[in-house]
Amino acid sequence: MFGFGKKKIEFVAPFAGTVVPVSEVPDPMFAGKMLGDGYAVIPYDDADQLAVVAPADGTLVKVFKTGHAFSMKTAEGVEVLVHIGLETVELKGQGFTILQESGSVTAGTPLVEVDLAAVREAGLNPITIVVFTKKGQIADVAVKAGATGAHPAAVATLA
């Protein structure tokens, strides 16, 4: 009833930036949690390149051929989607370098490199969204909003 004894999983930011709740993403599909609850990270304005890392330990399930998104499953079975930028699929892979396509990963493993300058030159928003896509897996998400640091970006409580 109160969540006592429920398993909690810590998720890191996929890169340095400012963490915000998914409800603050300037896209109605993500902000409305249609793909799931989660959090997002806004890269710092002075960043030109990003190494996007795994937000948790688990298995990399799929990396989209354009490099703009990937999905993974945590060791606890939680399904996670990381979407790099808004409308970045339109770049057709330009500015994205896939570093790993499948297999086991640990939190912090670099998976995709992004040329932020190319994303911004195309007029696209580089905010990166991390959502828990399978309904019923997550009971609550506590987002640690603000600048990334030593703490996790979010803690998800399993249902």
Write out the catalytic residue numbers.
83
Q: Count CB atoms within 10 A of the CB of residue 5.
A: 5
- In three-state secondary structure terms, 91 is helix
Q: How many CB atoms lie within 10 A of CB 141?
A: 20
Structure tokens at 87: 């409308």
Provide the 3-class DSSP secondary structure of residue 10: strand
- Contact partners, residue 156, CB within 8 Å, separation at least 6: 8, 9, 11, 78, 132, 138, 140, 141, 142
Contact indicator for 127, 88 with CB cutoff of 8 Å: no
